[in-house]
Structure 1
Amino acid sequence: TRFIFNYAKGYLYFGKDDYLKRTRHGLDYIRNTHRNPKTGSYAWAIYDGKIVDDTNHCYGLAFVMLAYACALRIGIEEAR
């Protein structure tokens, strides 16, 4: 999520399309790898592509929300 934040900020300040692509890639990763579609929660830890800790920590969720908010700010509507 912190990479999403950084790339979104980079796109906001420098306008490089590569930063926009990397932001989208990060969102896809957390949505498709960390997110549980049944509950809407996000896994705390992934190892080798598999969930090893599905605890839904508020600390982690705050960064997920930050990532989505930054992505939305640069025009990625699917972050809504």
Structure 2
Amino acid sequence: MRRLLQTGGVLFTIRVWLTPFQALAESPEQLAAFAQAWRGAAPEFAAYKGFHLYADLVEGFLRAHGESHSVNGA
């Protein structure tokens, strides 16, 4: 966080990390953590982030790499 000198306001910044799916496949712990986060996201959050646009791709990747439980538990 940084305070802006002229206004006294506070600026909060974040850093976004991008990890290729293939890197997740190389780490069982990271893959499991991603699967849990993906599948455990609140419906409102998933809708806001557009998960439905990538659900088939992500679930296919997870199944192909041993994370076999789908979003609906099947």
Both proteins in one fold, TM over 0.5: no
Does 1 or 2 have the higher relative contact order (CA < 8 Å, sep 6+)? 1
Normalising to structure 1: TM-score of the pair?
0.42
